[in-house]
Structure 1
Amino acid sequence: MADLTAVEICAGAGGQSLGLELAGFDHALAVELDENAVNTLRKNRPHWDVRHGDVADEAVWNPKEFPDVDLLAGGVPCPPFSIAGKQLGATDERDLFAWAVELAGKMQPRAVLLENVRGLSMPRFSAYRQHVKDRLKDLGYWSDWKLLHASDYGVPQLRPRFVLVALRNEDAPWFEWPEKTPYEGTVGDALFDLMKANGWPGAKAWRKKANDIAPTIVGGSKKHGGADLGPTRAKAAWRDLWVDAMGVADSPPDDSVPSDFRPKLTTEMVARLQGWGREPEYAWEFTGRKTTKYRQIGNAFPPPVARAVGTSIANALNRKGQPKDLSEVEDEVMHDRLYLALKNAPAALTERELVKLSGEKIDSATFERRMATLARDFVIDEDDQLGGRAYRLVGFKGFIGQEGHERHTRFAEMRSQIS
């Protein structure tokens, strides 16, 4: 395999970093905002160039320094799209997805890999996804999105992640999404050796009770309190697995603990459920106190999943296998037809004209709802005309690097709470 290089933005504590390294990518740079995660990256890979700060601040790093990189990768912030949040999308000061696409335009890497939460795959963001895909096409990239579950790639946890891969048109025919290699086992199987490490007599019985894969681990943010394993529904799922989800333990239970005890997980156990530490090549050490360690682990992209996707990208860049028709490669075509009608309209159009142009069969109430959703991410002018109210798409509200964008002010105000 040829030597390949990567620049990773929003690198976190290194889940994607380790996976990409195992897939054959050498890191030319990793950038991360959270100081604890930066310390973890530097501890595990002291020879890497790891920068600490706002990834959109050119005082932290200058994209022009990395013109020939093979891969631009990152796990840009999730809260703008999280189902558990307000889904502010382009108007969230943490949203860097569209900015990362523009960054690809500046750097011109051969490939792009961006991952985020399942919420980005929802109908709420269909136009946002279409905007990203269209912009990448303008920049000379073929792209595709796919919802991947960590359990399909050897990780004992459900953890759905929405992944975008983009490649230059000349490399894209060699890309194919990785084949599934499902995890065969349960939480009990994955953690048994760690749970019995201090001599707990209930470890064997607990292994039988923890008889399914884990629900999605939630890392949380600085806005919330100490570490626990997620919201109410997740806690109920953990309870069914005979795990106390109300916090994280300092160590496994010992021989003084009753056999029927419901244990909490340690950070080492949580890391195992994220794909770290199962084999020597997945060894990783986390810095900081317990809660900061848990957040680093819980917010990560599981290394085996990153490795699988990274290997598929590396194979394409190295022209491994047989080229394919791109229509055979593409998993899901994003078409928000009402957004496209607005985007392609030669002038302001009325509801009737937009509906006709889009080809959709929707009533006025549905049209109004859809337009209200579009207005959350896009600037839409409305003008009353003789034929009715007319609409015109003016621009995108998201941050793409503008110096005067309000993102800078909001980001500065919220800096201490962003993680």
Structure 2
Amino acid sequence: MTEDLRVIEICAGAGGQALGLEQAGFEHELAVELDENAVNTLRHNRPHWKIARGDVADATVWNPEAYTPAPDRRPIDLLAGGVPCPPFSIAGKQLGASDERDLFAWAVEQANVVKPRALLLENVRGLSMPRFAGYRQHVLDRLGEFGYSAEWRLLNASDYGVPQLRPRFVLIAMKPDDFAHFHWPVPTTNVPTVGETLLPLMARNGWRGAEAWAERANDIAPTIVGGSKKHGGADLGPTRAKRAWAQLGVDALGVANEAPDVDDIFSVGPKLTCEMVSRIQGWDDKDFKWEFTGRKTSNYRQIGNAFPPPVAKALGLAIVAALNGTAQRRDRDPAPDMDPIYRTLRGNSGFMTSSQIMRATGLDLTAPEIDRRISLLSRDFEIIKETRKSGLAYQLGEFKAFTGQDNHLRHDYLRSNVSKVS
């Protein structure tokens, strides 16, 4: 008899990833979420789940050691989550490890405590950029130390049947024998447009312009932006996104309460309701049915900050096939170096000059370019510099990210801003 595959989901939000993983065959052992409104939505839809509300890094909310494999306790099959995005967002300061909200590195460390068979973490596209090459390399190195093989991949939601681009940067890790069976999900060729997706909802109140509107909205949507508690009411994103929405005949300056009435006329187009936004995120009335609780602005943020359920399902099915050994085994190439300069400094206990770094890495770079790249590293790692006659020499110091330290500045930040943290 095959045992159920069990998942612990951290930073679960309102349930986008949770629903997709459930449909892929995972049973939720636990879901942890900070936001009260999102927790209420989770409990409304899955009252039988064990759901913990609070800071996931607080051991009184969730104690990872309680799930470490033991003679009377089999391993958790999957540790998953969508940890906070602001540290890596292109729209923000990209502080990375220096951002008090960063939980990515902490989540990676929990893999060595919980020891799940697989790890799934997702974040914004910004984490895939050169700015975070050293951070990504640190993650791969740590997972290697814990006995996992891992890969990063940038996925677009539109490749999995969701009518918006929504790029997400995904990390998958497994023990090598299981990872040999892992294949990234194959993109679908059948992606509905915004018009096709929303026509039934736009026509709900008999709006005469619905058919013509759907013909105009003949493309996928820009990425839905959920925003945070620090900002005002709900709308569909920054200026560039609003222009893209306008091309589709959508007024992105806010969210509507109802679908258009019979004779409504718009200069740009109608606004979307929260239900419409949820359809753009991949929820529907058939395969991915879900109800959101709370007021409109809260609903919109829950929906807009979610991981699209169809993408989570596609990833979940790929993970299930790997863990069950039903996917074809293949030889995998070693993970490429994200940042050879970081790797070189990390492997050297002393100081290294630019010339030594270039020789060790094989990179043909000038000393100023080496210094520029190390300057990027210094945003996530302590960099110790020593002046020599031949120029600067560098030594890699501590990783700045929160990984569970009792004295980390994250604790003070959270105590002071818990009502504003999304």
Would you say same fold, with TM above 0.5? yes
Supply the RMSD in Å over aligned alpha carbons.
Answer: 1.4
Q: CA deviation at 1:387?
A: 4.2
Counterpart of 2:98 in structure 1 is 91
1:230 aligned to 2:231? no
How far apart, in 1, do the equivalents of 2:250 and 2:81 lie? 32
- Runs of 4+ in structure 1 off by over 6 angstroms are none
3-state SS in 2 of match to 1:145: strand
Counterpart of 2:309 in structure 1 is 303
- Structure 2 letter corresponding to 1:90: A
3-state SS in 2 of match to 1:242: coil
What is the CA deviation profile of residues 298-357 of structure 1, one whole-angstrom value per residue up to 9, with x for unaligned ones? 000000000000110011000113211122xx7x62431111111112411122212221
Select 2:298's aligned residue among 282, 288, 292. 292
What is the CA deviation profile of residues 155-206 of structure 1, one whole-angstrom value per residue up to 9, with x for unaligned ones? 1111000000000112111100011113433100000000000111110110
Q: CA deviation at 1:404?
A: 1.0
1:268 aligned to 2:271? no
How far apart, in 2, do the equivalents of 1:91 and 1:284 lie? 36
Counterpart of 1:312 in structure 2 is 318
Q: CA deviation at 1:386?
A: 4.5
| Equivalent runs, 1:20-419 vs 2, <5 Å | 20-67=21-68, 68-258=75-265, 262-277=269-284, 279-327=285-333, 333-419=336-422
Identify which range, 56-65 or 134-143, moves more after superposition. Answer: 56-65
How far apart, in 2, do the equivalents of 1:64 and 1:345 lie? 33
3-state SS in 1 of match to 2:383: strand
TM-score (ref. length: structure 2): 0.96
3-state SS in 1 of match to 2:174: strand
How far apart, in 2, do the equivalents of 1:2 and 1:179 lie? 27
Q: CA deviation at 1:2?
A: 4.6
Q: CA contact under 8 A between 1:91 and 1:377: conserved in structure 2?
A: yes
How far apart, in 1, do the equivalents of 2:111 and 2:396 lie? 24
Q: CA deviation at 1:77?
A: 0.4
How far apart, in 2, do the equivalents of 1:42 and 1:334 lie? 42
Q: CA deviation at 1:105?
A: 0.6
How far apart, in 1, do the equivalents of 2:57 and 2:336 lie? 29
Unpaired runs of 5+ in structure 1?
none
- Structure 1 letter corresponding to 2:363: E
3-state SS in 2 of match to 1:98: helix
* Percent of paired sites with the same residue: 59
How far apart, in 1, do the equivalents of 2:3 and 2:53 lie? 29
What is the CA deviation profile of residues 386-407 of structure 1, one whole-angstrom value per residue up to 9, with x for unaligned ones? 4433211121010111111111
- Structure 2 letter corresponding to 1:284: W
How far apart, in 2, do the equivalents of 1:379 and 1:259 lie? 55
- Structure 1 letter corresponding to 2:12: A
3-state SS in 1 of match to 2:172: strand
Q: CA deviation at 1:413?
A: 2.1
How far apart, in 1, do the equivalents of 2:164 and 2:190 lie? 9
Unpaired runs of 5+ in structure 2?
69-74
Identify which range, 255-264 or 342-351, moves more after superposition. Answer: 255-264
Counterpart of 2:10 in structure 1 is 9
3-state SS in 2 of match to 1:148: strand
What is the CA deviation profile of residues 134-169 of structure 1, one whole-angstrom value per residue up to 9, with x for unaligned ones? 100000000001000001001111100000000011
Q: CA deviation at 1:260?
A: 6.8
Aligned length: 415
Q: CA contact under 8 A between 1:202 and 1:259: conserved in structure 2?
A: no
How far apart, in 1, do the equivalents of 2:198 and 2:350 lie? 61
- Structure 1 letter corresponding to 2:39: V
3-state SS in 2 of match to 1:251: coil
How far apart, in 2, do the equivalents of 1:148 and 1:387 lie? 45
TM-score (ref. length: structure 1): 0.97
- Structure 2 letter corresponding to 1:16: Q
